[in-house]
Amino acid sequence: MEALAARGLRRFLEPLESAQGALVRVGGEALINFASNDYLGLAASPTLRAAAAAALEQYGVGTGASRLVAGDTVAHQRLEARLAAFERSEAVLLFNTGFAANTGILPALVGSGDAVFSDALNHASLVDGCRLSRARVVVYPHADVEALARALEETPARRKLVVTDTVFSMDGDHAPLAALVALCREQGAALMVDEAHATGVLGPRGAGLCEELGLSGQVDLRMGTLSKAFGGMGAYVATSRPVAELLLNRARPFVFSTALPAALCAAAEAAVDVVEGDVPLREKLWRNIRRFSEGLRALGLPAEPRSAIFPVILGEPEVALAAARHCRERGLLVKAIRPPTVPEGTSRLRFCLSAAHTEGHIDVALEVLRGLRGTRG
């Protein structure tokens, strides 16, 4: 712990004293929250609260068992059916978290004699899922389709699976999805994508980058979370019915975990209705994204309105920590992101935009960053 602290890499917890939202209370202070993945401001939504409360009365607090034993409920079945309709897929299987989904799906699909090809900046859950699979793992340079093509050609394997985030969680950029789909078809590889930071944000109905590009039916597995734009907890994979059946039988986090509380399933079902039906809410998020992006560029900082995630890269951990303190002292909650979450030399502030932010909130953030740039020259 002392060694971590000396390198500026020690972590600690800061409990909120309020519900999640654009404004939160931390340590007795009211802060504008730019640290949350609550992209549509649904985490404290009255609609989701009411749905959860009704299910809580019907089903109680806990489920008492895994779904394969006695933990399955009508609420789980309803949510899977609703998500399958939302994703326009044959089937959906629920998991308790995105981390559980990724570390369960990959080992269930590939193993010894197979090869999995993973983008260098994939989320830690995908990295760990690859490791747990016991397949040969080939890491290709970030978003480098040519390098991936060479790796696919040069790597002998019984089965080949390419896995990538669609929106990368620390940089906010997109995977070259159309090129990946074409390459996987050409090479006979399967393709799995993690839409965690795209679901609810991208696409005409909020179904992610696959929907945005018209590629949903050409991707073998699409993982989405219920804990970001959907405002709740849990995850799911949208895929074919045979693959969903295989995962139900072989994905260890699904088989051996107590099921999600039914109240969370009911809240998620309500969230899907909001995400799909409330187009103005997503439009508000994108107005905020564009406003912040334009403001960052006016400050001379690189920014593109590709997602709700904006990194302000500062270099070393101590610099990022000092910048986070500067923001806190001026009323912003924004966290320093440091290795191993990001590569060495790229410690940063990570700003996340929400539909719950007002124009005033965004302008305050830009003014604080203007002051930060002034202190650093």
Closest-CA residue to 269 (of 61, 94, 98, 102):
94
Amino acid (1-letter code) at residue 101: A
| Per-residue pLDDT, 375 | 60
Q: What's the pTM? A: 0.95
Q: Phi first, then psi: give them for residue 106, nearest 5 degrees.
A: -60, -50
| Per-residue pLDDT, 376 | 60
pLDDT tens digits for the chain (377 residues)? 999 999 999 999 999 999 999 999 999 999 999 999 999 999 999 999 999 999 999 999 999 999 999 999 999 999 999 999 999 999 999 999 999 999 999 999 999 999 999 999 999 999 999 999 999 999 999 999 999 999 999 999 999 999 999 999 999 999 999 999 999 999 999 999 999 999 999 999 999 999 999 999 999 999 999 999 999 999 999 999 999 999 999 999 999 999 999 999 999 999 999 999 999 999 999 999 999 999 999 999 999 999 999 999 999 999 999 999 999 999 999 999 999 999 999 999 999 999 999 999 999 999 999 998 766 64
The side-by-side arrangement of strands in the sheet containing 221-225 is 91-95, 235-239, 221-225, 190-194, 160-165, 115-119, 136-140
Crossing angle, helix 262-277 and helix 46-59, to 10 degrees? 150
| Per-residue pLDDT, 158 | 97
Where b means 16+ CB within 10 Å and e means fewer, 94-105 reads bbbbbbbbbbbb
| Per-residue pLDDT, 374 | 60
Tokens of 37: 């993945």
Distance of CA 297 to the CA centre of its chain: 25
Cβ contact 312:295 at 8 Å: no
**What CA–CA distance (Å, rounded) separates 40 from 199?**
11
Tokens of 318: 């101590």
Percent residues over pLDDT 90 in the chain: 98
Beta partners for 309?
A: 352
**What CA–CA distance (Å, rounded) separates 350 from 369?**
12
Q: How far apart, in Å, are the Cα atoms of 355 and each of 33, 152, 330, 370?
A: 12, 40, 22, 23
Q: Which residues are catalytic?
A: 169, 197, 228
| Per-residue pLDDT, 69 | 98
